[in-house]
Amino acid sequence: MKIQPIFTLFVTLFIVMVGFGIIFPVIPFISISMGANPLEIGFLMASYSLMQFIFSPFWGSLSDRIGRKPVILIGLSGFALTLAMFGFAANLFMLFAARILGGILSSACLPTAMAYMADTTTEEERGAGMGMMGAAMGLGVIVGPAIGGLMSKLHFGAPFFLAAGIAAVNMVFTALFLKESKKPHPKGEIKYDRLKHIVSLRGFIAFIFFLVLVVSFSVSIFEGTFSLFAKDTLGFGAMEAGIVFAFMGVTGVIVQGLMVGRMIKHMGEELTIKIGLLISAIGFMVVIFSGNLVMLTISACLANIGQSLCRPSLASLISKDTEYEEGATMGAMQSVDSFGRIIGPVVGGFVYQLQFTLPFTLGGGLNFLILLASLFLI
């Protein structure tokens, strides 16, 4: 792998995820203070992913035409702007506006970064490269929730102002040090139609895209209801939720930075995905029986380890099996991932109102069922 651009991309994604991770422990408490219920919080979380679903393929395809770097810079500038908007929000309408605009603009970052990684790695290096991306994002999720939990003690808007400033610095860093990776592609120019691409999926690769949907759905159920669960069952606030998310980030960094590449090299993406689904299912179910901070952290980390094994392995498989440019393909994958994140928080908020353990039972059961299916289909 080309070390310098990969390092720059690593730093870029890390800082993006610092800003993204700040939201997890804080947003339920901000929303509740403005009169939102669990279902409305679910819609707030889903609005971001809805915009990603719509716009990620556009940004990915645009990066195929004009290059990766300018599209990443658009995403970073939008990320900084919308984080500042979040900090200034004084009512639920402003939270939705910031969240929606953030989804539109920041969705330029991830599919383009995945395409950048595909540009700069061979097929043999692809799994390790996607794992490094996951490690950067996991490291950001360590720092982000910790900042969110600590600074929310000063003011709920304080973490977002800090994150906006960091994102602005990140944009300058990327503009100076990230080199353009896009070169003429041997596959040639293929007219891209996202809907046709997704609908035309068949067999093995269709199931892999379906796995992306299931993984993102279960992750978003967890993220959307975990802070509420911790608050209602153990009396935790943003600080404690931030601690748990930080430990989840640590496990994500270790797994994706040090383990995924080696596991894919020795066992292949397919077996790595199956192991991840099993661990994730166990983690979801154990959350329900957690009666203190230690057990809650352990169970949450188990769920996160499973997801951390699955996501880069799925991205690696998809990037190797496509007739389209990498930007368009990663945009399609991000679109499917975002669709899972649209329905996940809404379903999670709805079932949480029925019974507070249902989101975790649903997430764990779904991971176990899709694991059984994968034994025959992968």
Q: Which residues contact 120 (CB under 8 A, 6 or more apart)?
A: 1, 2, 5, 6, 129, 181
Compute the distance between CA of residue 209 and CA of residue 216 in angstroms, rounded to an integer: 11
pLDDT value of residue 323: 57
Please tell me the predicted confidence (pLDDT) of residue 195.
54
> Mean pLDDT over residues 191-207, rounded?
61
**51: Cα separation from own chain's centroid:** 14
The proportion of the chain whose per-residue pLDDT surpasses 90, expressed as a percent, equals 17
Q: What is the pLDDT of residue 358?
A: 93
How many Cα atoms sit within 13 Å of 15 on the Cβ side?
Answer: 24
Question: Would residue 136 be called left, alpha or beta, if left means φ above 0 and alpha means ψ between -120 and 50 degrees?
Answer: alpha
Helix axes 3-33, 123-151, angle to 10 degrees: 40
Per-residue pLDDT tens over the stretch 23-51: 767 777 788 888 888 788 878 878 887 88
CATH code of the domain occupying 3-179+191-377: 1.20.1250.20
Largest Cα separation within the chain, whole Å, is 57
Q: Amino acid letter at 236? A: F
User: What is the pLDDT of the chain when averaged over all its residues?
Assistant: 81
pLDDT in tens, 1-23: 555 667 777 777 887 777 777 77
Provide the angle, in degrees to the nearest 10, between the axes of the packed helices 68-88 and 3-33: 20
Average pLDDT over residues 177-200: 60
Q: What is the three-class DSSP state of 291?
A: coil
**How far is residue 297's CA from residue 87's CA, in Å, rounded to a whole number?**
28
pLDDT digits (tens, 9 = 90+) for 304-322: 899 889 988 888 887 776 5
Note whether 346 and 71 are within 8 A (CB). no
Q: Is pLDDT at 239 greater than 90 in this prediction?
A: no
> Which of 73-87, 122-136, 138-152, 244-258 has the highest mean predicted lDDT (pLDDT)?
73-87
The full set of domain ranges for the chain reads 3-179+191-377
Q: What is the distance between the alpha carbons of residues 87 and 163, in angstroms, rounded to a whole number?
A: 10
Answer whether residue 184 shows pLDDT above 60: no
